[in-house]
Structure 1
Amino acid sequence: MKERDARVWRDQALTACCMAAAAEGDPLLSSARRAAVLMDCLAVLRAAHRPDRAAQIGMGEFRHGLRGPLGALLPPVPGTADRRFDALHLFDKHGLVRDAVQDLCREHLVPHVALERHWPWARVRAEQEERRLYEILRRLPPEDYRRARALLAEYPAGPVRQLSRAWDQLWMRFDFFEAVSDWPWCHLDGWWYPCPICHWPMRVAQHAATIDVRCEAHAARGVHYRRTSGPAGLGPPELVGTGKKATPVRGLPASTEHLALTRPVWRYGALPTLLELDLRDQVQDLPHVTVEMYPGELRPDEYDLHITVAVPGRRTQRFRVDAKAWESVDALADALLERQPPPYPLTILLPDHQDHERHYLAARLRGRRITVTTLNRLVKRIKTACGVSR
């Protein structure tokens, strides 16, 4: 068995598990439809295993396995010690489907006709929307390109009048917004709450008598809240912060007049841009440092920042930085390996909460002149390079 084929089968199994978990955790799905989805997902999972192991996986074991570490369900990859997803849990401690399941589904997607019948393809085949976004961006003049990238991060959601005013002439060129009213997962008594960091709708999760509101991308940094127990009023329910980054937020009407970027564009367009802007803001005023945003031919699939540290009497250091906000660094590694190796040293920038995964990604990309780091680590490295101790 070739290792690449085994990885494809493992991705297929992971996709099936993610889809099955989403069906299990969807309260709006009828029992008959849920059963049909689970049967198809089980068939896909079995097909990814050796015949002897496939015969042992029944529906009971499948549903039980979805609630625990996935190692019991996923096929191994011969010739490698990689067991990255063996400890992965698709449900949180309250029994709710983890926010990242949709992103894992997209990033490890292996198309399958049986799944296509039961899963809205637009929710899964997000790569097409991401590519369409970049094709539109590439056709823009340089200044409009830079402005559009910044707007993705600064105005990813809000009242339609505010968005159209901010995007101005670019507004009619982008159709990547959807009505928040169509997203019940972010509604709380008819209101939605923007994350104080990325400004995208936060997810509302209820378990027992408690209602939590959290940002899917920034919960790890402390952006999570809880609804107060006070009586319901005419305005939006009040939230109390339960994390260190939970600054006060106010609810907005979950109406057709409030729009938000589609999830793939937010995940793979807005979040990396936020990371890039954060890096720029932290280093651009340092001595001997020059930061160029979206340099060269403005190819989004190459790199986004060119940082130069030119200290007199020392060797000039250059950092070509490509920010990534994938949920799965395993899928990210596969995507990067499909590219031609860069003709220059490249730095892949991850969010700080993925610091523990940088060594794995670096090992997968060994021999490609690629360094993998996180925001805090890169800022410290640049400060050291220009002689700033803090």
Structure 2
Amino acid sequence: MKFTSAAEPVSHDVIRQMVMRAATVAAKALTDTEQSAEGRLRTLMDSHGEVLAARGPGHPLTFESFMTMLADDLAGLLPDGVSPEEMAGVHLINDDGLFEEDLFDLDQEQREVARAVQKATQGGRSTSLAEIEQEMDQVTVNSGLRKRGTQEAYAKGRADLSRMPAGTEAAVRRLNLPSVVGQYYRPVSFAALYEQWWFACPVCRWPMKVTRHRSRKSASGRVQCFYRPHAELMGASYTFKIPAAGKPPTLIPGSPPPAFTGAASVLAPDLRGPVPKPMPSAGYVALARGPWRYTTIPGLLEIALYDALIARGFAAAPESHMSRAALGADDNCPGSVTLWPFLDTYDLHVDVWLPDGRTQSFQLDVKDFTSEMLLAKKIQADGGDVGGAEWIVVPDHREASLPLLRGVCEEFSLKVATAGEVGQTICRTAGIRWA
């Protein structure tokens, strides 16, 4: 399956990216009431200039029209002749008049595609793409972890970033991360604070977004994970009544979302624990958004899939392709599993030891993109999976993306499945139960 974008000039991708970035910054400034009016106006004017540069001299746009269009379909800011693709139907500001956080994810994913396209083309690199690469925090984080050189050190670092995206300064220091990685732990952002308190998402443990809503008769608040699936599909969304001055809010959970069923139920998080409690901002730090979104979030799924296979009898292998004898596994062991093999060339390597003495291997690469179209475009630009995986695995809540991804991946002999489906496939091959 080919996208029309594969044949269009790279400049169209750059135009979409320039418009996305400028509009995202502008919408954030427009809705950020904590910033000074002068600072907000300056940001809006700069962003307007960036959009004009992307549109070109043949497509003028007045400042007044730009401001109006920030609340409409993002694709309207593109010049004629540039397909909206992943920007179609996207709104920068939601119905509550608040900035739409998913725009950060789309911006990051656009940059991932730009990097892949740049690597795949023979021409020189443009300045904009060089800047894009430098801005991608999670790329720097993963490179920093690899510098330790050993599989064990890399796997520990990746696991630590997934299991502790926020914590006390002392706890983060004890992780003993490379300094280039540790610098991405920063004070809890203002958007996640209610006065001096913050709340950890029960799924990912990162500080949740705090918003206040006022009407003529009452005032209330909402706390929800910045990662939409955690908030909408896994229950990480709460309300609260405005407390007395100097007191932290008490969170009230909403109606529980429908439970995952079938193969997807194995990896679904258990949220039957207590409601998140207020944590003091003093002395706590949290990962920057990029490493949290594209290292912590997929890392939690990778670890969950690894743990699920271990729980079903698979042996933990420090390196891939290890034999039953080398691992000291008994005859009932169905196989082995390695997490982030070859310093994260791909995400999981699973060997199933078949009764006839053969080994069937599964090389899995977990991908969690907000935009399935951008993920498909990246796979095309990479010419398949850049690390040599044979399976592209998406979270169970992104099952709807499978038809599009399968159409693209067929060209590169890649298989595509949700995490629950691939776990079930592995266990069926091993002759054991998954769910």
TM-score > 0.5, shorter chain as reference: yes
- Code of the residue aligned with 2:303 in structure 1: it is L
Q: What do the CA deviations read for 1:194-226 (whole angstroms, capped 9, x no partner)?
A: 111111111112232221111112213333343
**Matches of 1:243 and 1:171, distance apart in 2:** 42
- Code of the residue aligned with 2:187 in structure 1: it is V
**Matches of 1:34 and 1:112, distance apart in 2:** 30
Cα gap change, 1:47 to 1:357, in 2 (>3 Å): farther
Match of 2:43 in 1: 37
Q: What do the CA deviations read for 1:106-155 (whole angstroms, capped 9, x no partner)?
A: 333589999xxxxxx99x9531x323212221122222211111111111
SS in 2 for 1:211: strand
Q: Which residue of 188, 199, 212 corresponds with 1:206?
A: 212
Match of 1:5 in 2: 11
> 1:103 aligned to 2:105?
yes
CA positional deviation for 1:35: 2.9
User: Which has the larger displacement, 313-322 or 143-152?
Assistant: 313-322
**Matches of 1:317 and 1:77, distance apart in 2:** 48
Match of 1:236 in 2: 248
Asked if structure 2 preserves the Cα contact closer than 8 Å seen for 1:191 and 1:236, the reply is yes
Q: Which residue of 325, 331, 338 corresponds with 2:368?
A: 325
Q: What do the CA deviations read for 1:41-63 (whole angstroms, capped 9, x no partner)?
A: 233333434755x23x3333322
> TM-score when scaled to structure 1?
0.82
SS in 2 for 1:228: strand
Cα gap change, 1:92 to 1:373, in 2 (>3 Å): farther
Cα gap change, 1:350 to 1:197, in 2 (>3 Å): same
Q: Which residue of 140, 144, 147 corresponds with 2:156?
A: 147
CA positional deviation for 1:184: 1.0
Match of 2:182 in 1: 175
* Residues 41-190 of structure 1: pairs in structure 2 closer than 5 A: 41-49=47-55, 52=58, 54-55=59-60, 57-75=61-79, 83-109=85-111, 126-127=135-136, 129-140=137-148, 141-165=150-174, 167=175, 169-170=176-177, 174-181=181-188, 183-190=189-196
> TM-score when scaled to structure 2?
0.74
Match of 1:117 in 2: none
Cα gap change, 1:176 to 1:359, in 2 (>3 Å): farther
- Code of the residue aligned with 2:225 in structure 1: it is C
Match of 1:118 in 2: none
**Matches of 2:186 and 2:434, distance apart in 1:** 47
**Matches of 1:365 and 1:333, distance apart in 2:** 8
**Matches of 1:189 and 1:285, distance apart in 2:** 42
CA positional deviation for 1:231: 4.1
Match of 2:323 in 1: none
Asked if structure 1 preserves the Cα contact closer than 8 Å seen for 2:220 and 2:240, the reply is no
> 1:275 aligned to 2:301?
yes
**Matches of 2:239 and 2:81, distance apart in 1:** 44
Cα gap change, 1:143 to 1:317, in 2 (>3 Å): same
CA positional deviation for 1:172: 5.7
Q: Which residue of 339, 348, 370 corresponds with 1:293?
A: 339
**Matches of 2:272 and 2:135, distance apart in 1:** 30
**Matches of 2:421 and 2:197, distance apart in 1:** 38
> 1:259 aligned to 2:266?
no
Cα gap change, 1:268 to 1:95, in 2 (>3 Å): same
Cα gap change, 1:87 to 1:316, in 2 (>3 Å): farther
Cα gap change, 1:258 to 1:309, in 2 (>3 Å): same
Superposed CA RMSD: 3.3
**Matches of 1:363 and 1:329, distance apart in 2:** 12
**Matches of 1:58 and 1:158, distance apart in 2:** 46
- Code of the residue aligned with 1:232 in structure 2: it is A
Cα gap change, 1:86 to 1:174, in 2 (>3 Å): closer
Asked if structure 1 preserves the Cα contact closer than 8 Å seen for 2:187 and 2:284, the reply is yes
Cα gap change, 1:144 to 1:178, in 2 (>3 Å): closer
CA positional deviation for 1:363: 3.9
**Matches of 2:90 and 2:374, distance apart in 1:** 14
SS in 1 for 2:368: coil
**Matches of 2:86 and 2:242, distance apart in 1:** 43
**Matches of 2:357 and 2:69, distance apart in 1:** 57
How many residue pairs end up in the alignment?
371
**Matches of 2:387 and 2:104, distance apart in 1:** 34
Asked if structure 2 preserves the Cα contact closer than 8 Å seen for 1:344 and 1:369, the reply is no
CA positional deviation for 1:337: 4.4
Cα gap change, 1:2 to 1:84, in 2 (>3 Å): closer
Asked if structure 2 preserves the Cα contact closer than 8 Å seen for 1:155 and 1:199, the reply is yes
Asked if structure 1 preserves the Cα contact closer than 8 Å seen for 2:85 and 2:373, the reply is no
Match of 1:26 in 2: 32
Q: What do the CA deviations read for 1:228-258 (whole angstroms, capped 9, x no partner)?
A: 3374376632111125348411111111x11
- Code of the residue aligned with 1:164 in structure 2: it is R
Which sections of structure 2, spanning at least 5 residues, go unmatched? 1-6, 115-124, 257-270, 314-333
Match of 2:326 in 1: none
Q: Which residue of 12, 23, 38 corresponds with 1:17?
A: 23
Q: What do the CA deviations read for 1:161-187 (whole angstroms, capped 9, x no partner)?
A: 23333x1x4476742344435x21111
Task: Give percent identity, aligned residues only.
Answer: 27
- Code of the residue aligned with 1:37 in structure 2: it is T
